Amino acid sequence: MKKLLLLLLAAGSLASCKKTFQYSPNEVRLDENDKDLNARNIRKIAELPRKDTFRFIVMGDSQRHYEDTEDFVHAANGLNDIAFVVLAGDISDFGLNREFQWIARSLKGLKMPFIGVIGNHDMLANGRLIYSQMFGPENFIFEYSGNQFICLNTNSYEVGHDGSLPDLPWLERQLSNHDLYKNAFVISHVPPFDREFDQTKTAEYSRIVSATGKVRVSIHGHQHRYSVSRPYPNGPEYLVVGSMARRSFGLVTVTGTGYRIEEKTF
């Protein structure tokens, strides 16, 4: 009887260990409530009241900056009338399961829906697979109050500039529906004027986002410093948001077909 009791205790301990311990830093093991976060939050955005004037936040590179990200969440929650938050890539630093989980845990503290875009560091190790399970497709769109948000993978360097990233035909197809929207915002991690973007595709990217006249801002992270510029003739403005280590984020206010960009610090 004593031996049977010891065996049952050992079995229970092993079952518990499966949930507690990580066998390898490169493993892919997510809880059900950490899966398909973008799809879940896009549904929440679709349920928001439609407004002609609204505000959204763009935060940059959270990689390794866990305390700063927690402080960002508190700062964002202290603002009124924010529709949603977008993290413009580099959720993780080394593409590790735990890194994604730690940041997701912080972002779940936001009072508003959040969206995660894939960054170049999120493609390291098994990060690309983890991102696909936790957040979903690398290229995706969502809509709010007659505005189109197009998110895509521009991390060309991580695939050796093999021509596969960014998928510009996909981007052009999404913008072909521009008559359905008042404005479009294109969001990715690496901006087209960065050396890690496939420079053979820069001119085409600029042409596509300029062609319809509906893209108001091309939004990015990666460079870890805040900037707003208009680098290409007849094109939209380009917003690059700072990393969480810089303790700042971008606040975009949309009114009709107009917009305003501000840098906020915390």
CB 174 within 8 A of CB 199: no
Which one, of 80, 88, 116, lies nearest residue 101 by Cα? 116
User: Does the pLDDT at position 11 exceed 50?
Assistant: no
**Domain-located, residue 5:** no
**Domain-located, residue 92:** yes
Model pTM?
Answer: 0.90
Structure tokens at 92: 């993780």
**Sign of the alpha-carbon dihedral angle for 55, 56, 58, 63:** positive
**Domain-located, residue 15:** no
- Mean model confidence pLDDT for the chain: 92
**Domain-located, residue 139:** yes
Which one, of 237, 137, 224, lies nearest residue 184 by Cα? 237
Mean of the pLDDT values across residues 17-46?
80
- Cα–Cα distance between 29 and 19 in angstroms, integer? 10
Q: Domain of 123: which CATH number? A: 3.60.21.10
User: Does the pLDDT at position 4 exceed 80?
Assistant: no
Which one, of 85, 83, 61, lies nearest residue 73 by Cα? 85
Confidence band of 252 (pLDDT split at 50, 70, 90): very high
**Domain-located, residue 11:** no
**CA separation, residue 80 to residues 54, 75, 159 (Å):** 10, 11, 40
**Domain-located, residue 6:** no
**Domain-located, residue 205:** yes
**Domain-located, residue 55:** yes
The answer, yes or no, to whether the previous bond of 113 is cis (omega within 30 of 0) is: no
What residue has token string 């840098």?
Answer: 263
Confidence band of 14 (pLDDT split at 50, 70, 90): very low
Contacts of 14 (CB under 8 A, 6+ apart): none
Structure tokens at 126: 């098994």
Dump pLDDT digits (tens) for 147-189. Answer: 999 999 999 999 999 999 999 999 999 999 999 999 999 999 9
Q: How many CB atoms within 10 Å of residue 168?
A: 17
Residue-number span of the structural domain to which 43 is assigned? 28-265
Confidence band of 30 (pLDDT split at 50, 70, 90): confident
Which one, of 20, 32, 40, 49, lies nearest residue 110 by Cα? 40
Mean of the pLDDT values across residues 75-81?
97
Which one, of 168, 163, 146, lies nearest residue 218 by Cα? 168
How far from chain centre, in Å, is Cα 179?
Answer: 26
Domains in the chain, number = 1
